[in-house]
Amino acid sequence: MAASAGTRAAREARINVRASARQEQIIKAAAAASDKTVTDFVLGTVVAHAERVLADRRFFFADDEQWAAVDLLLTELVPSTPKLAALLSTPDFFAAKSQ
């Protein structure tokens, strides 16, 4: 059920969470069904969700200098290379699938 000490990253931080008795029962049952400890189940689930939330961010904040740097990267032309030319000359995968 638990990973050996050699295969697990060191856990140094503590996160305290309050839950209702029902929530605790559900979490424990799901952890057991997944053959994981409650800690491994909760951390795995929460970290995966946190990563999705951060990856899905649609807004970011930048000052004028930071935005100018981003804008420059977006507007600079990419130098043409034989590999890029070959890639751009291949048929569009999605267009071919929709026909």
Per-block mean pLDDT, blocks of 10 residues, the chain (99 long): 58 93 98 97 96 83 92 87 90 75
The verdict on residue 5 lying in a domain is no
Q: How many domains does the chain have?
A: 1
The verdict on residue 80 lying in a domain is yes
Is pTM beyond 0.85? Reply is no
Residue 66: the pLDDT is 94
Residue 91: the pLDDT is 86
Residue 8: the pLDDT is 66
The verdict on residue 8 lying in a domain is no
The verdict on residue 64 lying in a domain is yes
Task: Give 41-44 contacts, CB < 8 A, sequence gap 24+.
Answer: 42/17
In sign, the C-alpha dihedral spanning 79, 80, 81, 85 is: positive
Residue 99: the pLDDT is 63
